[in-house]
Amino acid sequence: MRIFGVILAGGQARRMGGADKAFLSLAGKPLIRHVLDRLRPQVETVILSANGDPSRFAGTGCTVVADEMSLGPLSGVLAALHHVSRAGATHLVSTPVDTPFLPADLVSRLKQAAASAPEGLALARTPDGDQPVCAIWPVGLAPALAAFLSGGNAKVTRFTDAHRAARADFPVARAFLNLNTPEDLAAAEVMLEGKA
């Protein structure tokens, strides 16, 4: 099994005033660096899913793959699946760029859960519910995902439920905290300072 990672950095960040979330500073370093530091040790290589000028990510050392169609996070997953399958990957683990506290055992738990899934698809779940963008995707699902998106569908859980995704349970919900607003970012700063 060859597992690659993709950080989904293609969102428009409307609640952050349209700022490029990847480069928002948290504890003195960009969000994308926090996610890279957590994901990179768990996978063979990490690529980025992002639209616009890819040169802004030059400092990450990651290949940047643009969406093939613009229908939310699944578009980034599909483009990444196509890319990593050509590089010899068997599976892809996806994470959003605004989840700086990802667990160190994310990939191992997703892999374990996927072993019991009919199609090898699994997503993270916390006491707060499913975290569908944090998932492991077999590259063989790319055609089904392309067909799903071509039909105008974009809801992640509609696809994952249709393909009987397993759940990998994580006990700490804040490991998957999404930083969607300036207030979320401020709260994350407090968490990192050990005040919360």
Alpha carbon distances (Å) from 49 to 4, 32, 186: 13, 12, 25
pLDDT score at 18: 54
pLDDT single digits (tens) 90-127: 999 999 999 999 999 999 999 999 999 999 999 999 99
pLDDT score at 158: 95
Which structural domain, as residue segments, surrounds residue 167? 3-192
Mean pLDDT of the chain: 89
122 φ, ψ (degrees, to nearest 5): -145, 150
pLDDT single digits (tens) 159-194: 999 999 999 999 988 899 888 776 767 777 777 776
CATH code assigned at 105: 3.90.550.10
191 φ, ψ (degrees, to nearest 5): -60, -45
Domain count along the chain: 1
Report, as an integer, the average pLDDT of 117-138.
Answer: 96
pLDDT score at 192: 72
User: Please, which residues have CB within 8 angstroms of residue 70's CB and are 6 or more apart in sequence?
Assistant: 51
Report, as an integer, the average pLDDT of 49-57.
Answer: 91
Lookup result for tokens 């699994």 = 122
97 closest CA partner among 152, 182, 38: 38
pLDDT score at 12: 54
pLDDT score at 31: 92
pLDDT score at 194: 65
14 closest CA partner among 182, 187, 190, 185: 182
